[in-house]
Amino acid sequence: MKAIVAHAAKDLRIEDHPQPKPEAGQVLIRMKAGGICGSDLHYYNHGGFGPITLKQPMVLGHEVAGVIDTLGEGVDTLAEGQLVAVSPSRPCNACEYCHEGRPNHCLNMRFYGSAMPFPHIQGAFQEWLVADVSQCAVADGLTAAEAAMAEPLSVVLHAAKQAGDLLGKKVLVTGCGPIGLLAVLVARAAGAAQIVATDITDFTLDKAREIGADITHNVAVHAGALEAYSDAKGHFDILFECTGVGPVVASTIPAMRPGATMVQLGLGGDMTLPIQAMTAKELSFKGSFRFHAEFFSAIDLMSNGRLDVTPLVTHTLPFVDAVKAFELASDRTQALKIQIAFS
């Protein structure tokens, strides 16, 4: 079978790998769709991000959906021919964090396409994938493209839990890539009173308005756009920070109301923040990392028509054009979520 493998920055190859076989409690899935994530782009463009770097070739990808081809021994809750979204989250269920109900912090996590451990955890951008039954969410009524959006939507649903009640709140979203745009969708569905979004391209900001943002600001053109929200000690109750850029995070502090909650989703390099200003406003700063149970909630919300993620998928390219797909996904002036069609 073919797999998409990163060897180093800008060194992406389509390689032949052995086709896997399902064991007891597993299924063999013929891949249909896979979305290119920001972490995939970091591996492709830079060979990693922060201290996490490629030390060996690694199959990329963790936003995937496909059709069940073969059932392993003892599998009776799934059926051949079913479309499933595949959760990349595979906690050990035995460490202290799993026992505490924090499986996203599992000490022995096997998350598809991750260079955090060594040997690396190989990803899911391959024609055939073996998955545990517990990873598979049946995607009734969805297309493969929609089902493959369950993973990034899960990231935002986990962040929304960190933020707390959004009903009637004024929400700021910084960074309108796919995660930021999904934050707009989730905040709107959760009853936010106002959503303001910032980014540095008109293309992404137009999409933010299309899916529910009330006001958008191009901070590349108007660098001080958030200053208008700093009167009376601030305006926003909730921040979804999706850039991972320190100066962007710092620029939001004057616009946050006392007692506001800042949720950090963007992963970049380390950053320096104005802690004294945050302290004086009694701001809560919460990290949000991955997800687990939210994956199945994401499928339910899409299947029930509560959230429509289709506007975020701007391009679909065939498997053989993987390099072109990664190059296009790196251009936020014309692309948002790029998906790869495997079959």
Domains of the chain in sequence order: 2-149+309-341 (3.90.180.10), 156-287 (3.40.50.720)
Q: Which residue has the higher pLDDT, 278 or 52?
A: 278
Tens of pLDDT, residue by residue over 188-197, are 999 999 999 9
Per-residue pLDDT band for 50 (boundaries 50, 70, 90) equals: confident
Confidence of residue 270 (pLDDT cuts 50, 70, 90): confident
pLDDT band at 45 (very low <50, low <70, confident <90, very high): very high
Q: By the 8 A CB rule, do 23 and 72 touch?
A: yes
Measured CA to CA in angstroms, residue 204 lies from 198, 326, 339 at distances of 9, 18, 17
Q: Which of 43, 336, 310 is nearest to 199 (CA)?
A: 336
Q: What is the pLDDT of residue 268?
A: 74
Report how far residue 29's alpha carbon sits from residue 110's, in angstroms, rounded to the nearest whole number. Answer: 18
Give the residue-averaged pLDDT of 227-236: 97
Is the pLDDT reported for residue 51 higher than 80?
Answer: yes
Q: What confidence tens digit (pLDDT) does each residue in 139-153 have?
A: 999 999 999 999 999
**5-23: per-residue pLDDT in tens?**
999 999 999 999 999 999 9
Region 264-281 average pLDDT: 90
Looking at residue 212, its pLDDT comes to 96
Q: What is the pLDDT of residue 155?
A: 97
Q: What percent of the chain has pLDDT over 90?
A: 95
pLDDT at 183 over 90: yes
Q: List, edge to edge, every strand of the sheet that includes 2-8.
A: 11-16, 2-8, 58-59
User: What percent of the chain has a predicted confidence (pLDDT) above 70?
Assistant: 100
Q: How far apart are alpha carbons 314 and 311 in whole angstroms?
A: 7
Q: What is the pLDDT of residue 141?
A: 94
What pTM was computed for the model?
Answer: 0.95
| pLDDT tens sequence across 160-171 | 999 999 999 999
Is residue 269 scored above 90 in pLDDT? no
The answer to whether 126 and 3 are in contact (CB under 8 A) is yes
Residue 271 has pLDDT above 90, yes or no: no
